[in-house]
């Protein structure tokens, strides 16, 4: 059993824009600030909060535009999905 989160980002198709990735229940999001390297896990309850604000089907590629680093205020945020468990 691996302990520690595994990152799971689908490879983008060559020469195309990757389709929007929808966050599903039970997944976590790894959110990191590219500016100050502040890093947080967004657990399902926090993702649910976000879904309330953004709508049920929100795509991870949209998130960096909607999130802001709570530490330095930078909008240069990287978001990755991870399957829980």
Task: Report the C-alpha gap between 78 and 34 in whole angstroms.
Answer: 7
* Interface with Zn ion, residue 74, by CB under 5 A: yes
Binding range to Zn ion, per CB under 5 A, among 11-19, 21-29, 48-56, 68-76: 68-76
* Nearer to Zn ion (CB atom), residue 38 or residue 80: 38
List the beta strands (DSSP E) in the chain. Answer: 27-33, 39-42, 77-83
Q: Does 36 bind Zn ion (CB under 5 A)?
A: yes
DSSP-H helix ranges across the chain: 44-54, 63-66
- Angstrom distance (rounded) from CA 25 to CA 23: 7
CB of 33 to Zn ion, least distance (A): 3
The reply to whether 72 sits near Zn ion by the rule CB under 5 A is yes
29 sits near Zn ion (criterion: CB under 5 A): no
């Amino acid at each position: 059993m691996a302990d520690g989160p595994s990152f799971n980002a689908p490879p983008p198709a060559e020469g195309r824009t990757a389709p929007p990735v929808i966050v599903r229940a039970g997944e976590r999001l790894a959110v990191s600030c590219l500016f100050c390297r502040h890093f947080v896990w967004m657990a399902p309850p926090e993702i649910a909060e976000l879904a309330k604000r953004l709508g049920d089907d929100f795509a991870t590629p949209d998130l960096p535009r909607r999130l802001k680093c709570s530490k330095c205020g930078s909008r240069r945020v990287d978001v990755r999905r991870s399957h829980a468990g």
